Structure formats: C-alpha cells, structure tokens
Structure 1
Amino acid sequence: MPNWVDGQRKDELATADRGLNLGDGHFSTLRVSGGRILAWPLHRQRLQHACQRLSMGQPDWDSLQRTLDQALAHCDPSEAVIKVVITRGCQGRGYDPLLDRPPTVIVSTFDYPQHYLEWQRQGVTLDTARLRLGTQPALAAMKTLGRLEQVLLRRELKLHNADDLLVLDSDNRIIEASAANLFLIQGSTLITPSLARCGVAGVMRHQLLRSAADHGWTLQVRDVVGADLDRCDGAFITNALMGAVPVIGIDGRPLPIPHSFSDIQRLLLC
C-alpha cells in the first residue's frame, strides 16, 4: 500500500523525526466506505484540536485534502482504511521542541479489517485487563503516538478467551476497550466513561454525544465503575472503523443486546 509524506509519495521518514524518536505527534484512522471517507469533518476537528493542545503548527489542510484524494484513488472503494499521522518533524533538539512550526504529515492506506463486519453482526466478549492505564490529564482524550499501553494490552489479550479487553485506570475506573470507546445502555440513557484523566476520545463517541439527545437519548459522561455494569441493560463499543459493536459478555457473564441498540447503529450511519 502506498504512503505519502508531506504530500509526496515516499516510504521513508527522517531518522531525526520527533514522532519516531519521542512519540511527539498524534494520528487519526479513517474508514473508507463506498468510495468516500466517513466522518472526515470530525477527524479533521480532532487533528486540529490535538495540534492546538500540543502547540504544534496546523498542517496545510488543502494539501492534506489533495493527498487524501490521491490515497482514495489507491484504496478499495468498497472498504479500506486511511491513516493520517501528524508529527512535529525534526524541529528542536532533545526534549525541547520548536513550537507552532509546520508539522510533518504522513498518510498511509491499509486493507479494512474484515473481522469488524462479523463483530457488528455477532457482538463481542470482553475480559477485564490486568494492565491499568496511567492517568495524565494533559494528554487525556488525544490519540497521541505513544501507544505502548495498547501494545501491551494486545499482548495480554492473547492470554484471554475474549474478543477484546475492558480497560481500567489505576483507580479502577472503567475507561474503554483496548482500541474502542465503551457505552452502557440503561433504559433510554447512554453512559460513557469520562476521559478527563486518560483514554482516547474517538470520533464515533463524539458523533453519539453530539446527536443522540436529538433522537431521544439521555447522555451521561461520568466516572464508570464495576457496579455500573451490573445495572446496565446492555453495552457496546465504538470506533471509526467498526462503528458500533454490541458487547454480549463481560468476564464470562452474558449481556443481552437491547432492542434499542439497532437505533444506535442507524444513528452512527447518519
């Protein structure tokens, strides 16, 4: 699959790039379906916001759009993945960055993970992870390049008889799945964990928080603990590639799929 760096077709990155050396950057993963990028305005908003929080310069958005158009031409138009990575480039020595300079923008294309389609139909099981997420409010909710916790979680997943892991922070608050946001359904209320201390705020999570109330749902963004799992009518996970996937079991305890879950899936297709 082809790659682009700052709008040019290439597969090389400077060895001094701060994204490679320090994880100094962030990214977003886009779903291509029916020949178009889904939810691009939300992805762009997230990338803009992360650049602001990290005091990185904004990319040339017109140039990035042209690169995305080229990437689309090389993708399977039915289903594919495009990843946009923004780094601070080679600016600054050691830990001391140069602020608000033009960043380096990397665009890559990938095949779509077909198992997500099966997950949408059949649902997934979750086991509680042993590894706990560290808390750092200054980086919370952003999709930064430092994903070693997620690498360790995927290694741990191989030791479980489950599809994914339910991930807690160091104070035993429930945060997310290994690569997806978590929602609980309780009657007509959607509950999702606060990401003020850690975790990643996905674009599907943002879309639900922005639009669910207009479709009759009450929303709660708050700390979630184990007792909330006992009270919920159902649960689901979301990310930009999988959409909404029902959770059919947690730690061996079956969970029903509420009839209202189909409304959620339709809502994310709007």
Structure 2
Amino acid sequence: EFKRQYKIGTVNSINWARLMAQVVYYFSGYFQATRSNAEKVSFTVPSGNFGNVCAGHVARSMGLPIDKLVVATNENDVLDEFFRTGVYRVRGSADTFETSSPSMDISKASNFERFVFDLLGRDGNKIKALFHDQLASQGSFDLSHDPAFKSAAQRYGFVSGKSSHADRLAMIKDTYERFGTMIDTHTADGVKVAREHLQPGVPMIVLETALPIKFAETIEEALGKTPERPARFEGIEALPKRVKIVPADVTVIKRYIAENVH
C-alpha cells in the first residue's frame, strides 16, 4: 500500500521494464551490423546477473536473427559452468571472488530463472521445484541429463566462456594497440570470450558495459597510462553531495519518504 501511495518502484536488475528497454540494444546493434534481414548476428554479453543477456534472449524469441548469445563471465563462473555442464551451482560469499570486473562478481544470477522457465517449457511447477525447493535446500541443480538442456545451444543460441584478470589485461592492451580503442574490464571479459566463438560471415557484437575511467587502476596496469576523464566528469568530486543517512529501520525510512516526497 505504501509503495502504491507514493508510486515507488525499483529499476533494479530484475525489473521487467528495465529488461524491455535493454531489448532495444539488440535490435539497434543488429540493424547497424547488417544490410538485410536475412543476415544473422551474434552478441557477446559480459554477464553476472543474467539481466542484459536475458534481454537478448527475449529479442531472439521475438524473431531477431541472432545466431549465438555468448555469455561471458569472469572468475565467478556460475553461468559458464551451467552452459558447459548443465549444473547450476550457486556460491556463498566465501567462494565468490573479488575481481577487476566487479559488476560481474555475482554468485547467484537473479534473472537466470526466466531463461530456465523457457528452457523447461514454461512449466511453473518444475521451476518452483528447482529454484524454490532444490536450490534453496541443496544450493544447486543438475539439468545435464535433461533433453531440454542438451538442445539449449541449438534452440536458444546460448554458449559461454570465462576469463581471468590476466585475460582482461591482455584484451585491454590488444584492443588498444590494434584499434586505438580503450575498453573497460567488463568489456574485456566480453572481447576475450567473443573471440572464442567467432564464426565466418557472422558479425559478433560485444556489448560495452562501462567507461574505462571507472576502472582506471586496471587500465593503467594494462596500458601504463590512466584513461582520459570525459569533460562532463571533470571536478565531480568537488560538487555538493546530497546524502541523508537514516537508521536501518523501515518505519523511519517510510516516515522520511512521506515527509520529503512532493
């Protein structure tokens, strides 16, 4: 009732509105990379939470001629493990690595359930048994013997791969030296895995996820220099900060919202 009254929503990784907006990326990329609608294109997406690549899955399901949807992970390879083996095994915080592509340091992909729902014939009971019951009690499930998983790559185009910190450094350096383009660490994960799935005559689009300046320390490690800061961010540290710290108490937070929403 409170959320309805104050029209509160969250545009987080599992918000369907956000995913719908991301679907547009794939259509836009496709039309930029092709000359006719008969051509196919593959996409590589740096992935942790399976949000953006799930939008690619939706675009493909809508009829966009996508050949491969390449899931690129870092050392936190929950998704790569599934697409290679059929085993989805979430990790605890102790087994989740802190990497130089931190937005992908995720051990439980919240959007993944949406794809598995399609994979298993949109059977809600099966999904409940896997995600609500088995995953909660055992921390994993295994679809390796399920015929649906065995045909997943053919039916839905999904393949995967992973990279390490050394791979990211190498991709950042190689991309800069060959093309004069500076990429961030997450995009470097994507470039590395994309190269493993190139096919003759099929353009491969790698989704860029962030500006290099956000990860200046790793860029400097790879290239020996700091990325140039975009002009719109110059002096940002000196600008006024608008922060309000409140106790971790739902009642207090609701009261603050009610008093300050206009």
* Same fold by TM-score greater than 0.5: no
Higher helix share: 2
**TM-score scaled to structure 1, two decimals?**
0.24
Return the index of the structure with the highest Cα Rg: 2
